[in-house]
Structure 1
Amino acid sequence: MQADDLILFSQVIELGSFSKAAEANNLTNSVVSKRIARLEAELGVQLLYRTTRKLTVTEAGNLLAVGAKNVEQAKADALAKVSGLGDAISGHIKMSVPTISGDLLLADAVAEFCNLHPGLSVDMSLDNKFVDLISGGYDLIIRTGYLDDSSLIARHIIDSQWVVCASPDYLKRHGQPKQPNELKQHNCLKYAYQASGGNEWEFKSASGHYFVKVNGSFSTNNATALRKAVLGGHGIVYVPRCLIYEDICKGDLIDVFPKLVGKKLGVYAVYPYTKHPPKKIKMLIEHIKQRYLAISEYFIEPTS
């Protein structure tokens, strides 16, 4: 038994004729007649007595009409709820963001967005790995890097420049390298979440980009731990500019190669492919982008 047949039966009774029900649903009279006959055959009872002048509902038809009306109302209610869902700034959003940006600005930005829209709640996890958006049930992820999955939509937010830095104390004790290749003689603290394990640091020259393979006594996948280690004077690091921007501004860390570091990655808002992304997702992305741009100097050196 199909729900649409029950709804059609309810409309036939309400409108009083097959022809009016056919017109309301853009069907022919014969199609309506066949669908009601199919419903009667499935139930094994006669629902209507049909003559050329009059339509009479049987006892079984009256009993079924109550349930059929409920089905029709349930469908109408469901459509009414869903039709405005795409534009509503309410409901729930599950998202994943990188740890550095999460600590720096996203926790505050997303919490602020929730306060601006009281009907909305957000579950935000901090993870540097590119989580599986679909199987993980995520509505939105913020990631730094490259996007390979063509079934996802990625909106560029800002670029993130990396830097090589060390504390003044470390450089006083061990000397400041003049060229990237001299890093091989230094204790290089590694950001281990990268695919290379943080061993290969990218630089640029007039002839193109190249990599220097480094070594060191300490490796971690936690950005906060790495920052503490370099501030403690224990070595040189290769990290996103935003992680240590304030430390460089205060003089607690020194940018060793301000013009030579070659690593610059895009920060993207990523969500499932859809022709009509929910308004709440689009507005949250825009809110996040403006917060990134408001402190763009943390991520990339101003051109002027």
Structure 2
Amino acid sequence: MTFTQFKIFSKVIETGSFTKAGEVLNMTQSAVSHAIASMESELGVALIIRDKKRGVILSDFGKRVLKPVRDIINKISIIEQEAAAEKGLEIGTIRIGSFPSTTARLLPKMIATFKQMYPMIEIVLFEGTDHEVKEWINNRVIDMGFIAKLCWDETIIPITRDKMVVVISKGHPLTNYPAIPVQMLADVPFIMPSGGCELIIREIFEQYDLSPSVHFQVMELATILNMVQEGLGVTVLPQLALPDTLPDVEVRELEPAVWRHLGLYCPYMNETSPAAQRFISIGQSLFT
């Protein structure tokens, strides 16, 4: 088996398609298919099941070996980057997972600063929920990912923090309060964001042995804000998630103030490439 076969196998699973993998790797679909077939022939077992309805599916054996294959790809990438650095070059790829508010508010500045210093290093973004980011890291799809927690802990590299705020409609009785106690939010219809910060919001309420009265659970931010505007409920959101131009709503702080802590989750730090380590350092220098 060859390193190229490993890269092709990993890319087919990442893209979910022989054709798309070929486009990314600048190969024909038949060349990709041949590489996988050769790998399966050498191993004597199937890696991928071709299903007309569901597309590309990993076999049980394929599931077991995908992570070790990605480990090998990552280690070879580190060797290539170290060799390039020794020759005075900066090359490589950094794969970063993030959720929408971080992608919009933090990453542009981090990437722009990084690219000014290392223009030859490619950055690939994966956007999803906290759960998806952790899953991508554990499966070695990405090198690192942004996650949010109420408190710092040893699992994340600190980058910055973000205040949690209450969003209510104009004329709502709670607008009379400059800051709103969590206890008051338990007694009103609540719109729960389901795009990634739900666990933090529920944890805020649990600190007071309370549960929000969830009337709606919504993923899209614009929909949440419009529902609040129409008086269908109140919500709690991270300040970084709010758009620059808000609809006809009011924003209040929580009492006492609550912050979510944003950091990079990188459990394989001792195996992280030099490029990824530099990206982390830049993020810390910009925001911490």
**TM-score interval (norm. to shorter):** 0.5 to 0.7
Whether the aligned pair in 1 keeps the contact of 2:228 and 2:249 (CA below 8 Å) is no
Question: How far has the Cα of 1:254 moved from its partner?
Answer: 2.7
Secondary structure of residue in 1 paired with 2:208:
strand
**Structure 1 counterpart of 2:122, one-letter code:** S
Which one of the candidate residues 255, 261, 267 is aligned to 1:259? 255
Change (3 A) 1:245 1:224: closer
Give 3-state SS (helix, strand or coil) of 2:136's partner: coil
- Residue aligned with 2:164, SS: strand
**Equivalence map 1:151-170=2 (5 Å):** 154-169=156-171
The one-letter code matched in structure 2 to 1:215 is S
User: How does 1:1-304 map onto structure 2 within 5 Å?
Assistant: 81=80, 83-85=82-84, 89-111=90-112, 113-128=114-129, 129=131, 130-145=134-149, 154-169=156-171, 171=172, 179-193=181-195, 200=202, 202=204, 209-244=207-242, 252-255=249-252, 257-261=253-257, 263-275=258-270, 277-293=272-288
Amino acid corresponding to residue 92 of structure 1 in structure 2: T
Residues 174-207 of structure 1 deviation map (CA, whole Å, 9 limit, x = unaligned): 8757654333442211112469678846269xxx
Distance between the aligned counterparts of 1:286 and 1:186, measured in 2? 43
Deviation at 1:80, TM superposition (A): 9.0
Find the residue that maps to 1:189 and give its secondary structure. Answer: strand
Change beyond 3 A, Cα 1:81–1:235: closer
CA RMSD of aligned residues (A): 4.1
* Gaps in structure 2 of 5+ consecutive residues: 1-76
Q: Offset at 1:81? A: 5.0
- Normalised to the residue count of structure 1, the TM-score between the two structures is 0.53
| TM-aligned CA distance change 1:188 to 1:198, over 3 Å | farther
Identity of aligned residues (%): 12
Higher gyration radius (CA) = 1
Decide which structure has greater helix share: 2
Query: Which residue is 2:18 aligned to?
Result: none
CA contact (8 A) 2:168 2:250 kept: yes
For 1:180 and 1:230, how far apart are their aligned partners in 2?
17
Q: Cα distance 1:189–1:123, how it changes in 2: closer, same or farther (>3 A)?
A: same
The question of whether the paired residues in 2 share the 8 Å contact of 1:167 and 1:233 is answered with: yes
Deviations 1:83-141 (A, max 9, x none): 43467532111110122111223145325533542211111011122323141421121
Give the match's secondary structure for 1:226.
helix
In structure 2, do the counterparts of structure 1 residues 247 and 237 end up closer, same or farther at CA, with 3 Å as the change threshold? farther
Partner SS, residue 204 of structure 2:
strand
What is the CA–CA distance in structure 2 between the aligned matches of 1:183 and 1:80, rounded to whole Å? Answer: 53
Distance 1:109 1:231 in 2: 33
TM-score w.r.t. length of structure 2: 0.55
Structure 1 residue ranges without an equivalent (≥5): 1-77, 294-304
SS where residue 213 of structure 1 aligns?
Answer: coil
Question: How far apart in 2 are the matches of 1:135 and 1:86?
Answer: 27
